[in-house]
Amino acid sequence: MPNSTKKIAIIGAGPAGITSAFELSKAGFDVTVYEASESVGGLSKTIELWDQKVDLGPHRFFSNDTKVNQLWLEVVGKDYRMVDRLTRIYYKKKFYYYPLKPFDALFKLGIWQAFLCVLSYFKEKIKPTKQDGSFESWVTARFGSRLYRIFFKTYSEKLWGIPCSELDADFAAQRIKKLSLFEAIKNALFAGKKNKHKTLVDQFAYPIGGTGMVYERIKTLIEKNGGKVWCNTPVKKVLAENGNTPKIELNSGEIVEFDHIISSMPITHLVRNLPNVPAEILEATNQLKFRNTLLVYLKVEGQHVFPDNWLYVQANDLLMGRITNFCNWVPEINNGQKSTIVVLEYWAYDSDEIWNDTNENLIELAKKELRATGLIKDLPISEGHIVKIPKCYPVYGKGYQEPLKKVEAYLTGIENLSVIGRYGAFKYNNQDHSILMGLLSADNLINGKDHNLWEINTDYEIYQESSTITAAGLTLN
């Protein structure tokens, strides 16, 4: 069967879905992308706000995978800049550089507190904390109890909405794998590529039109290749089971047949609406939970307000978890404006009071919390804007892998259905890993490969060749 007659549905136009659609469209497949929102890009989209461009929080792109970097450069061309990253941690009304700068941390923590942190670190080397499968025990064993409490506990509990003792160690293993206090100090004292942990990368490529520019351009290229990208077109359910032609049902009630369906919709929504799902699989699905993100954008009347790209808020007296300053990315997105747009991030479950509060109250809360940090001094805040993103983070509750494995096995057994992306595969992916999922899902169909898409997450480091993007383009490592 010629590729041009194979009909492929892609559900979701985030980095994973739209990358898959792009590759398939280049190979001659008949591709249709269904996106529930009004624009492509998913969590990595860029929006227009107050005559400037802003992302949905801080979205840097960095990858060591040559295939991913080649695709990114294919789309972006030379329309990007290298951004020097500055990230700090706000803790007890002080700002600590991240990655760690030992003398900065020593000065701000104080000699005695710093001594106790080092002491607790070496205590773990002598008598490690017993591992119970939790994020708390993993990080404590790696950094010591004091550094865990100072720089990990509060932020992580805000993000996930559960105690760190109930958060699975898998999250730490994926996000900060191989990073230790010793490596952070080594990086600070002997900075260089060979000892640079991915968490500590201090420069990254950023499109001059915002992160979402990449995916808007891919949309245009898909359409140029003859594919279709339908925004504002949510998929109600997938009708796929072995022995039957896979179909999708739109919210309008229309049912469309395809040869293969690639889904990046939330895995929970997908499974609950599949036909004839066994009770034990539905029960496992119900154990998988997502965390929502609530973004409060504030327009600050001033420039050069503070130097960070973003900050982590490790403070018990503030509800927000992260602050991004879009004036410190690339000048093009600020469009010559004299004001600064910052966004404060809050996280919640559907039933939480903050998720259901009014926009007016949320904006006032954000104004109060931003001022409490001292970052903007007495500069006026002229406007506020709210964006709510449901089901944003897959929650790695302790033991989450057991029900997820059951769901994975069930979905893997359904012919002509592939599941990808942060939402679709229940993986806390960065952009590059979602792009890789899209590339490999397309490769499975184009070249008959058998890539295991479930294996790809933030600790996936099996590259045929390693490279990075620099100002000069692609540089092989």
Task: Reduce the DSSP state of residue 255 to 3 states and report it.
Answer: strand
Nearest to 323 by CA among 79, 54, 44, 129: 54
Asked if 130 and 194 sit in the same domain, the reply is: yes
Q: How many separate domains does the chain show?
A: 3
Q: What is the pLDDT of residue 193?
A: 45
Q: What is the pLDDT of residue 194?
A: 46
Using the 3D structure, point to which of 148, 181, 199 is the last residue of a domain. Answer: 199
Exposed, middle or buried by CB within 10 Å (0-12, 13-18, 19+), for 197?
middle
Q: Around Cβ 255, how many Cβ atoms within 10 Å?
A: 12
Which residues are 8's β-sheet partners? 31, 260
Q: Which residues of 349-380 are buried (b: 16+ CB within 10 A; e: fewer)?
A: eeeeeebebeeeebbebbbebbeebebbeebe
Nearest to 152 by CA among 183, 175, 129: 175
Asked if 190 and 229 sit in the same domain, the reply is: no
Cα separation, 122 vs 119, in Å, equals: 5
- Answer yes or no: is 84 within a domain: no
Cα separation, 441 vs 16, in Å, equals: 9
- Answer yes or no: is 65 within a domain: yes
Asked if 191 and 228 sit in the same domain, the reply is: no
Which structure tokens are listed for 461? 């480091």
Q: What is the pLDDT of residue 356?
A: 97
Nearest to 343 by CA among 389, 295, 300: 295
Which structure tokens are listed for 395? 């929650």
Asked if 321 and 416 sit in the same domain, the reply is: no
Asked if 388 and 313 sit in the same domain, the reply is: yes
- Answer yes or no: is 85 within a domain: no
- Answer yes or no: is 122 within a domain: yes
Nearest to 16 by CA among 52, 41, 49: 41
Task: Reduce the DSSP state of residue 151 to 3 states and report it.
Answer: helix
Q: E-strand spans in 376-461? A: 381-394, 417-419
Exposed, middle or buried by CB within 10 Å (0-12, 13-18, 19+), for 272?
middle
Asked if 189 and 258 sit in the same domain, the reply is: no
CB 87 within 8 A of CB 311: yes
Rounded to the nearest angstrom, the gap between the alpha carbon of residue 85 and the centroid of all alpha carbons in its chain is 17
Cα separation, 473 vs 151, in Å, equals: 35
CATH assignment of the domain containing 438: 3.50.50.60
Cα separation, 56 vs 58, in Å, equals: 7
Q: What is the pLDDT of residue 243?
A: 75
Cα-trace Rg, the chain: 23
Give, rounded to a whole angstrom, the gap between the first and last alpha carbons of the chain.
40
The stretches of 210-355 forming alpha helices (DSSP H) are 212-224, 267-272, 279-285
Asked if 414 and 271 sit in the same domain, the reply is: yes
CB 408 within 8 A of CB 400: no
Asked if 164 and 104 sit in the same domain, the reply is: yes
- Answer yes or no: is 267 within a domain: yes
Q: What is the pLDDT of residue 463?
A: 46
pTM of the model: 0.91
Q: What is the pLDDT of residue 197?
A: 46
Asked if 357 and 437 sit in the same domain, the reply is: no
Q: What is the pLDDT of residue 171?
A: 80
Using the 3D structure, point to which of 394, 426, 445 is the last residue of a domain. Answer: 394
Exposed, middle or buried by CB within 10 Å (0-12, 13-18, 19+), for 131?
exposed
**What element of type H or E holds 298?**
strand 290-300
CATH assignment of the domain containing 380: 3.90.660.20
Asked if 192 and 217 sit in the same domain, the reply is: no
Q: What is the pLDDT of residue 474?
A: 76
Asked if 434 and 351 sit in the same domain, the reply is: no
Q: What is the pLDDT of residue 232?
A: 97
Asked if 279 and 403 sit in the same domain, the reply is: yes
- Answer yes or no: is 93 within a domain: no
Using the 3D structure, point to which of 145, 168, 199 is the last residue of a domain. Answer: 199
Give pLDDT tens digits along the chain (477 positions): 445 579 999 999 999 999 999 999 999 999 999 999 999 999 999 999 999 999 999 998 888 889 999 999 999 999 999 999 999 999 999 998 877 676 787 788 888 988 898 899 899 989 999 999 999 999 899 889 998 898 889 999 999 999 999 999 888 777 665 444 445 554 544 444 444 444 445 789 999 999 999 999 999 999 999 999 999 999 999 998 877 889 999 999 999 999 999 999 999 999 999 999 999 999 999 999 999 999 999 999 999 999 999 999 999 999 999 999 999 999 999 999 999 999 999 999 999 999 999 999 999 999 999 999 999 999 999 999 999 999 999 999 999 999 999 999 999 999 999 999 999 999 988 899 999 999 999 999 999 999 999 988 655 554 456 778 888 887 876
Structural domain boundaries, residue 212: 3-46+58-77+207-288+397-455+467-476
Contacts of 62 (CB under 8 A, 6+ apart): 198, 201, 204, 205, 430, 432, 468, 469
